[in-house]
Structure 1
Amino acid sequence: MAREAARQLARGQHALLLARPLSQLAVEFFCDLADHERCARWVREVLDAPGRAVGEAARANAVRISDRLRVPANADLRGARLAGEDLSHRDFSGVDLTDADLTDARLIDANLSGALLRGTRLTGARLDRADLSRADLTDANLSRARLTRADLRGALLTGSRWHRAALIDVTMDDEVRSAPELGTAAIAPGMPVDAGFRPSAVGVPYGFGMRTGRLPEPIAYSADGELLAVGSEDGSILVCGADDGRAVRTLQGHEGRVYAVKFRAGVIATGGSDGAVRLWDPVTGACRHHLRVHPDGVWPVSFDAAGTLLATGDREGLVTVWDVATGEPVHRMPGHTAPVYTAVHGPNGLLLTGDASAKVRIWDMATGYCVREIDGHQGAVYRVRFSPDGTLFATADRGGPGQGGTVRIWRTADARLLHEFTGHTGRIYVLDFHPDGNLPPGVSRGEGLPWSGGCVHHARTHPGCRQCHPTRRNRHTVGPWQSRTRTRTQTP
C-alpha cells in the first residue's frame, strides 16, 4: 500500500491517501519511498484546506506524514555523519547538529530555525529556501554552500566560514549582513558581477637564470587552504579553488610575467618583471596598492607572519619593508652590494636576507638597521629560512668552482654556525624546515636531500625534465638531512 501511495503521489494522484488512514508503519515506508517535496506540498494543501474540504482520513494521514518528516527538537544528532544525504523539506527546528557532517547534503526547504549548528560541516550544501533564522552557526563551515532565498535573520555567524558560498536573494537583518564572516561569500544582490578571462598560460615555466634574474615562487595557498593563487606568464594571477581548481577570479594589472605570489589572510602580494608589487583583495579582486620597487623587476617578496609588513629586494641590493595597510615604505635598508635573492621574516621582528655576493644579513624591523652580517658562504645565497620556533636559521648557497652548494644551520641568537651539510652536486635553490623543526630539505638542480644533522634520503627527479629543474645539463637529485648523525643513510 505504501509503495502504491508513493507511486500515485508521483503522478499527482492521492486516492489512497484520501481513502483511509495509513498505519504508522505504512507512513514510515511511504515517507522513505515518496519524494519529500511532494509530500510536504500535499501535507500543506490538506492541513490548510478549510472546514470539510478534505476528509478525516486525509487529515489524519497528513498529520502523521508531517510528524514523520519532522525531526524531534530533543533529537541528538551531534557528530552525525549525513554527508551527501537528501534531507530536503525536513523539520530540524531546534535540533542539535553540533559537529555533524552535512557536506554536500541537500537541505532544500529544510527548517533549521533555532538549530544548533556549531562546528557543523555544511561545505557544498544546498540550502535553497532553508529557514536558518536564529540558528547558531558558530564555527560552522559553509564554504561553497548555496543559499537561494534562505532566511538568515537572527543567525549567529561567529567564526563561521563562507568561502565561495553563494547567497542569492537571502533574507538577512542588518547584524547578519554586516558580519565580517560573510566577507568571503558572493552575495546577490549587493555585490558587483565582473566578467573575467582565465590567463592564457598559467604558471612561469622556467627557473633561475641571469636573463630572468629570478627564483620563481609563483604559487601560494591561502592560510586556510581554500584558495590557490598562481602567477602567469602574461602578467595575470589566477585565483582558483584548491580542491577542484575551479577559477574564482583573475587578477590583472601587471605588465610582465608574475613570478612571485604570496598569500596572507585578507591580502595577496604579487611581484612581476614590470618592477612592481601589487597588493590585492582576494575577495573582490581589487588592487589595493601598487608598489613601484625597481625598473628591472622585483626579486624576493616576503610577508611577515601577521601579514602587516612586506619585504622586497631588488637588483641594486636595496631591501624595502612596506606597510601592507597603507602601501607606504616603513624602512629602506641599503647594505647589500649585489642583487638580493632571498628574504624571510622571523621571530621577534627580525628579517633575514641573502644576496648574489655570498652575504647574509639580519635586520631589526623596529629600527631598520642591520644587526649582523654573516660571511662564509660560497657563491650566491639563493635561500634562507628560519626554523619554526625561530631559534635556528638555514642558508643555501651556490657552491664554489666545481663544487655543489652547501646547507648551513646557524643559531639565531648569536649567528653561530652549528652545521654544514654537503652532498649536493649542484647549486641549492630551495630549502625549508620540516614543521617539527628537524628536517630542512634543500633542492639543487634536480636533486633534493633531507637533513637532520645528516642526509636521510637522496631523491632524484626525472633526467632531462625541464619541469623538475631549470636546465638539462645538470644531475637531477633532491634531499632532506639527519642533524644528529651528519651521515647519509640512504641513497636510492
Structure 2
Amino acid sequence: MNYLPLAWVLLVFNAHADDTEAPLTLNGCVIAESSQCPGADLRGAQLANQDLRKMNLSGADLRGADLRHARLDLANLEKARLQGANLTRASLQQSNLRLADLTNTTLKAVQAWGLFAQGAQFQGADLSAAYLQFSRLSGARLHDANLQAADLEMAWLSKADLKGADLRDANLQEAKLGESNLEQANLSGSRQHYGNFQGANMQGCKGCPESWE
C-alpha cells in the first residue's frame, strides 16, 4: 500500500483550512446570518455583498455604510441609523425597518417585498425602481423622496408624508394611501388602478386622481 508523504498531507490540510475564512467582525459585531448586534457601531462599514440575513441590528449605527447588494432579508433594523448609507440592489424582504432613519439613503432597485417600515424616515432617499410590493410604510416620512418607477402595488402608505415626493411612473395599483400627504408630489404616469386615496391631501399634486377630491 502506498502512503502520501506527511508533508503532502499537511499541505492539503492547510490549503483546506485557508479556504474556510472566519466571518467578518467589526467592532465586536460578527457579520453573519442570525448574528446578534443590537446597537452596533458600523458607521462607514464596507458590507457590500455580505450576508446579513436575520441579523439583529436594532438601533445600530450604519450611517454611511456600503451595503450594496447585501442580503438583509428578515433582518431587524428597527430604529437603526442608516443616513447616507448605500443599499443599491440590496435585498430587504420582510425586514424590520420600523422607526429607522434612512434620510438621504440610496435604496435604488432594492428588493423589499413585505418590508416593515412604519414610521421610518426616508426624507430625500433614493428609492427609484425599488420593489416594495406589500410593504408597510404607514406613517413613514418621505419628503422629497425619489420613488420614480418604484413598485408599490398593495403597499400600505396610510398617513405617510409624501410631500414633494417623485412618484412618476410608479406602480400604485391597490396601494393604500388614505389620509396620506401628497402635497406637491408628482404622480405623473403612475398606475393607480384600485388605489385608495381617501382623505389624502393632494394640494399642488401632479397626476393625483381627481375622483378622490
- TM-score of the superposition, structure 1-length normalised? 0.26
* Alignment match of 1:102 (pick from 62, 67, 84): 67
Distance, in Å, in 2 between the alignment partners of 1:89 and 1:115 is: 15
Aligned length: 140
Task: For 1:413-424, list aligned pairs within 5 A.
Answer: none
Task: For 1:285-304, list aligned pairs within 5 A.
Answer: none
Q: Could you list the per-position Cα deviations for residues 69-127 of structure 1 after superposition, in whole angstroms to 9, with x for gaps in the alignment? A: 11141x22111111111111111100100000000110011110000000000110000
Cα distance, 1:285 vs. partner? 8.2
Task: For 1:453-472, list aligned pairs within 5 A.
Answer: none
AA at the equivalent of 1:127: L
Distance change in 2, residues 1:187/1:285 (3 Å): closer
AA at the equivalent of 1:176: A
Q: Could you list the per-position Cα deviations for residues 158-197 of structure 1 after superposition, in whole angstroms to 9, with x for gaps in the alignment? A: 1111000010111221x3287552642210116xxxxxxx
Please state if 1:176 is matched with 2:82.
no
What are structure 1's unaligned runs of at least 5 residues? 1-28, 41-68, 191-238, 240-247, 249-265, 268-279, 287-324, 326-492
In structure 1, the partner of 2:36 is: 70
SS in 1 for 2:152: strand
Please state if 1:157 is matched with 2:122.
yes
Query: Is the contact made by 2:89 and 2:107 (CA closer than 8 Å) also made in structure 1?
Result: yes
What are structure 2's unaligned runs of at least 5 residues? 1-21, 26-31, 156-168, 171-184, 193-205, 207-213
SS in 2 for 1:167: coil
More strand by share: 1
Please state if 1:135 is matched with 2:104.
no
Task: For 1:39-438, list aligned pairs within 5 A.
Answer: 69-73=35-39, 75-173=40-138, 175-176=139-140, 180-181=144-145, 183-184=147-148, 185-189=150-154, 281=188, 284=190
Task: For 1:31-46, list aligned pairs within 5 A.
Answer: 36=33
Q: Could you list the per-position Cα deviations for residues 265-292 of structure 1 after superposition, in whole angstroms to 9, with x for gaps in the alignment? A: x99xxxxxxxxxxxx94x5389xxxxxx
Moved over 6 A (4+): none
Distance, in Å, in 2 between the alignment partners of 1:186 and 1:150 is: 12
Distance, in Å, in 2 between the alignment partners of 1:172 and 1:141 is: 17
| Percent identity for Structure 1 against Structure 2 | 32
More helix by share: 1
Distance, in Å, in 2 between the alignment partners of 1:149 and 1:161 is: 19
SS in 1 for 2:145: helix
> RMSD between aligned alpha carbons?
3.4
Distance, in Å, in 2 between the alignment partners of 1:151 and 1:72 is: 18
- TM-score of the superposition, structure 2-length normalised? 0.57
Higher CA-based Rg = 1
